Amino acid sequence: MADKEFPGWHGTTIIGVRKGGKVVIAGDGQVSLGQTVIKGTARKVRRISPGGYDVVAGFAGSTADAFTLLERLEAKLEATPGQLQRASVELAKDWRTDKYLQKLEAMLIVSDGRDLYVITGAGDVLEPEHNIAAIGSGGNYALAAGRALMESDMDAEAVARRAMQIAADICVYTNGNLTVETIDA
């Protein structure tokens, strides 16, 4: 099938919420090819522990590309234990300059409980405003819902879950089958 005929993989909404001394990263389970749901139970949020320091990561985009980036991030964290910002910047620099990595189509949300970052292939390591970040097909819906809920009495997990539910109600590439990981500050 020629590239112009390939309908493209869609699906994934990932949200990261920092509130009340906790960071929660939640992701849906849907993977779609064109108008077809290929899988509804994919796990796009993972906990890694390089060097004995826990980090939670969620990814949107091509699964193989995201796993490549997670492996690279883990290696950077092993080289700089406990320094998520430094490891994230090093990954973003490699991603931007390495000819192989430049072709990767994915984004990451990562947290060690203190910091929350979005890492992109454009070389960005973004610390989100308002303690909330979202990526993927339904990312803007989840972000808007999450920002509206941040002022409520809900804790970080409740905000993330409700924002994902709202995104799933709006975005056809997002479902309500969630993977949720929490990490304390």
pLDDT grade for 4, boundaries at 50, 70 and 90: low
Work out the percent of the chain whose per-residue pLDDT is above 70. Answer: 94
Catalytic residue among 12, 13, 174, 182: 12
Structure confidence at residue 159 (pLDDT): 98
pLDDT in tens, 45-82: 999 998 889 999 999 888 888 888 899 999 999 999 99
pLDDT grade for 2, boundaries at 50, 70 and 90: very low
Structure confidence at residue 5 (pLDDT): 53
For the chain, where are the alpha helices, taking DSSP H only? 63-79, 84-97, 139-149, 156-170
Closest C-alpha to 95, from 111, 113, 71: 71
**Could you tell me which residue, 139 or 106, shows the higher pLDDT?**
139
Residues 6+ apart with CB under 8 A from 102: 95, 96, 121
Residue 3 has pLDDT above 60, yes or no: no
Q: How far is it, in rounded angstroms, from Cα 24 to Cα 158?
A: 9
pLDDT in tens, 108-130: 999 999 999 999 878 889 999 99
User: What's the whole-number mean pLDDT along residues 97-104?
Assistant: 74
Whether residue 12 lies in the annotated active site? yes
Closest C-alpha to 74, from 98, 110, 103: 110
pLDDT in tens, 140-178: 999 999 999 999 999 999 999 999 999 999 999 999 999
